[in-house]
Amino acid sequence: MANPTQQAQIELLADHLSANADALHRRLMRAIRQPAADGALPGISQGVAQALFENEVALRQRANGLYLEAAVLAASGLGSQQQQLLDLTARAQEKIDKIDRLKDLVDLAGELLSLGAAVAAGKPEQVLKPLEKLKQHIEAL
């Protein structure tokens, strides 16, 4: 049986990924509605917008997968990395709301997807690389 504390932490991680998807959606909608004259995310093309929407959907799917697999993931040995994941995804949400360069928004969304995929795989050894990339990107912002 899964440890209830670990399960709650995994579900909280899923909540954070969902919140990141919400933040990505809000930011993307602002970029679409905002005239390019003020320099914030200028010239967002339909292709880039579509790719970001697809990233948003994928983040939501990862979060939903975590909710469904919380008991399995809790037993997979993420252990001490759980709090770091929670903290990092919370910081990512803050950054999404403040990003003003399209490239940074796309990169951060992609790194969140990679992290979500690694966690959803339930293999702790696959979490470290995307976790470090996301951490470095957030620090750079």
Three-class SS of the chain: CCCHHHHHHHHHHHHHHHHHHHHHHHHHHHHHHCCHHHCCCCCCCHHHHHHHHHHHHHHHHHHHHHHHCHHHHHCCCCCCHHHHHHHHHHHHHHHHHHCCCHHHHHHHHHHHHHHHHHHHCCCHHHCHHHHHHHHHHHHHC
Stretch 53-64: mean pLDDT: 91
Say yes or no to pLDDT of 5 above 50: yes
Stretch 6-34: mean pLDDT: 86
Percent of the chain having pLDDT more than 70? 79
Stretch 20-48: mean pLDDT: 77
Taking only the tens place, the pLDDT of each residue in 110-134 is 998 888 887 777 666 777 888 888 8
pTM score of the predicted model: 0.63
Percent of the chain having pLDDT more than 90? 21
